[in-house]
Structure 1
Amino acid sequence: MGESLSTLRVGIVGAGAISGQYSRTLQRLPHLPVVAVADLDPARAQALSDGHPKSRVVTVDELLAADDVDVVLNLTVPAVHGQIALAALAAGKHVYGEKPLALTVDEGRKVLRAAADAGRSVGCAPDTVLGTGIQTARSVLDAGTIGTPVAATAFMTTPGHERWHPDPEFLYRPGGGPLLDMGPYYLTSLVHLLGPVATVTGVSSRPAPERVIGSGPRAGTVFGVEVDTHVTGILTHVSGAVSTLMISFDVWAARLPRIEVYGSGGSVSVPDPNRFDGEVSVFTAETPSWQEVAPTAGYVDGGRGIGLDDLVRSAAGEHRVSGALALHVLDVMETLLAAAGEGRALPVATPGVRPEAMAGLLPDW
């Protein structure tokens, strides 16, 4: 490592599909050793534990009570994110979890209050915003390369995760849907790039009442859809910039940018916020053609779990994927769905913050 870091011993709750990506990252971070794994399926827990020789398989209660667990990595389904976080904080643990922070804003507020009362830190995915893609784009904006940012677009379209996910039902239940599943990548990036959101308005729809699992042992299984699967929103940032957002599980193909930011003197093309890297390109009045920008900031070759590393590195201050940021993003999403239902613009109650930018490249994590 490039600097001396404190050690936080990690207990993982949830050994589902995403846990493998976290596991590979944590194997590269010796100051974040995995010591315990819990899952409803003991076989899955054992498979994850096997990648961390010093870890053991335990129950959730045993993990929360363990003296050698400093931070709980919460990789459960969205419906219990808040429940597990609250239990971990009550047990005196720090918490880092998958998105969203909780099922509702009210529950998210309880998580942050519990963290404050316990004197513990809460972090939340997505940490893709710490990769070279978003951080390089941010450095372009902060340098004034395109002047004052005035607008942005953000598009995520797919026909649905049930085509590839073996157990996709949770994605179509409360806490899921394209906005709560994929929206955090785009909205967290927009807050990093343009700052917090003040008001939102939008529309949403649910074209198909049922979906069919397309792969795995349950292929062909039909299940019901309980949430809207196509969401379009207009976000007014505190800075005055206006973002247009479209997140959908109902689009088979589209030629749309992932994220673009438009300024008074040019534009920035931002790579897929579900990845840690990708090409950043700039178009300016002085150079009226798209020019690729070499990476200037962020974790090089980042992977899911580097948010835990940022939590450790930022121990003296607010980390860049904090619970407060995740609560603001959850509030934006919840308010957007409410605005779509009411057919009017609504204010976002949480103040939000624009996290500190990364000062340069981190190649030695």
Structure 2
Amino acid sequence: MATDNLARLGSAMRNLPSQAEPSELRDLVVYLAQRATYEAVRSAAMIALQSPRGDEAIREFFAVGWGQAQERAQLDQQMHRHIVARVLATHSPEYSPQVVASARAAERGTDAERAEYVRSGFRVAQERDQATRDADGQAAAALRDADRCYVRGLREVTGAQVRLAATYATREGATDSDIIQFFHFSWASGARLDTEDFRLTAEAQEVRQVAAIERLTREARAAQKAAESAGDAAKEAMRRQAADAWGRVATGGAPAVGSWQQAQQVADAQASFWGQVYRDAVAQSSMNWRPVMKSANAARTDWRQDTLHAQQQVSFWRKLIAEAKEREEQLRPVSG
């Protein structure tokens, strides 16, 4: 109901008459600063109220600021849903019952409840689970020197986020509770972040590469079409131009092969690493290693998928380059 009211309020705001009294507008901004559903809107309203530009800032809020704040809020809500989903993917109810229960509640809750969970709820639930483990003492009793050495070794050999988590867990002044937290959560979270970082980088790379090659391909097709319809006097020169254009397609695709080969090597190495972690976890009897089995197996599966995708991309770009070179050779005048 509150969301419906705010939606109607937003519609009314967009249709405010230009001659509305500044005091009326200010009252509405005060209301939004106090009662708007989204924190981004409340913050934008408060900034407008505190601006030294006075009524100008208030009117600007309705003209531009509110809409921008709404967009930011919607992006925030998408990110909050993503974070809650990540928490559920990296925690088990057996070892992190408070975290899982609160994340499930946030998943079913409102946007405001998810925002609050991301802001503080997750940390509070995590601290409660850790306090329970510390009070129980079983996880600490199961911790061995070999486990501590294993975590220290991860500071050098894995993805950046796992390295950071391992470094923090074994920092100067760290306690066994930090090591246990690493086994029960930080390792899986770092693994998930490393996978996401890799995929985001690959996705951005892929979009740039495809956009660039699409432009070159359009130019080459247009040049080829022009050459095919050219008169005899201009045909040879235009065929040469079309051949050059297809040559640029082949040249432009070459870096993509190298970058995807490198991505394949990274993904393959990570898949092998997580396969070893999974085997190590299976071989342990310690309760601290049991949460690692699920996360290691999931990480291995993710990286295998990334390896396959990289292989497919290498094949795609090699085929594209081969086809471009073939067209270049077909169009290149014999005398050229």
TM-score by structure 2 length? 0.22
User: Which structure exhibits the higher relative contact order, with contacts defined as CA atoms closer than 8 Å and separated by 6 or more residues?
Assistant: 1
The structure that is strand-richer by fraction is 1
The structure that is helix-richer by fraction is 2
TM-score by structure 1 length? 0.21
Structure (1 or 2) with the larger CA radius of gyration: 2
